[in-house]
Amino acid sequence: MIVHGSGSKSKNITMQLKNNTTHFGIIAVTLHWLVAITVLSLFGLGLWMTGLDYYDSWYKQGPWWHKSIGITLFFVIVFRLCWRLLNPPPAHLTNHKPWEVKLAHMAHLLLYFLILVIMVSGYLISTADNRPIEVFGWFAIPATITSLPGQEDIAGLIHLILASTLIGLVVLHAAAALKHHFIDRDRSLKRIFGR
């Protein structure tokens, strides 16, 4: 993407596909925001679904969307992790303290871990009755683990607790980004917008 400034001076900003030592590439930026928006949307949809009764028109439609989007997100996360391994993120900014770098690294690992465990628990909820998960009517994920004692209830509780924990961590992650932007006045937040 090339942006030209107005007026006599023309500014040429090129956003690369891949990360470099100072900037995130467009693929990493897109994946970051796609995952963030999808996670928040799935959490909202999941909470909303818990209040639906059997006669609500969304009683079956809500879970169908939740599962389809959740499975699709799983593949996006796998791609994102592979992309991150093949294309490391930019170096931390020089003003970041060692404890901030370590904490940020741990938070990112925990975010990925929580998302993956939430997906596994969602799979266990959905397949407890030995039915596959339909994904947008395109394909089905078979039920391979079924009939564990209390599978649906236990997996459901884990799903809710970890999803709530994930959202709490997302809020802390966003607060840290805002702290870097408004208090430290560094480029951390701008970089994840691809600037």
Percentage of the residues of the chain whose pLDDT score is greater than 90: 76
For 55, other C-beta atoms within 10 Å of its C-beta total: 6
Q: Average per-residue pLDDT in the chain?
A: 90
SS3 category, 107 = helix
Percentage of the residues of the chain whose pLDDT score is greater than 70: 92
Q: What is the pLDDT of residue 14?
A: 57
- Beta bridge pairs of residue 3: 13
Residue 16: left if φ>0, alpha if ψ -120 to 50, beta else—which one?
beta
Is the per-residue pLDDT at 172 higher than 60? yes
Nearest Cα to 28, choosing from 176, 141, 194?
Answer: 194
At the topology level of CATH, where does 2-192 sit?
Fumarate Reductase Cytochrome B subunit (1.20.950)
Q: What is the pLDDT of residue 152?
A: 95
Band of residue 193 on the pLDDT scale cut at 50, 70, 90: confident
pLDDT tens sequence across 82-109: 999 999 999 999 999 999 999 999 999 9
- Mean pLDDT over residues 73-88, rounded? 96
Band of residue 5 on the pLDDT scale cut at 50, 70, 90: very low
Is the per-residue pLDDT at 19 higher than 50? yes
Joined tokens for residue 147:
């009939």
At position 80, the amino acid (one-letter code) is R
What contacts 91, CB < 8 A, 6 or more positions away? Answer: 21, 22
Q: What are the extents of the domains in the chain?
A: 2-192
- Mean pLDDT over residues 57-64, rounded? 93
Name the pTM for this structure.
0.87
Q: What is the pLDDT of residue 6?
A: 43
Q: What is the pLDDT of residue 175?
A: 95
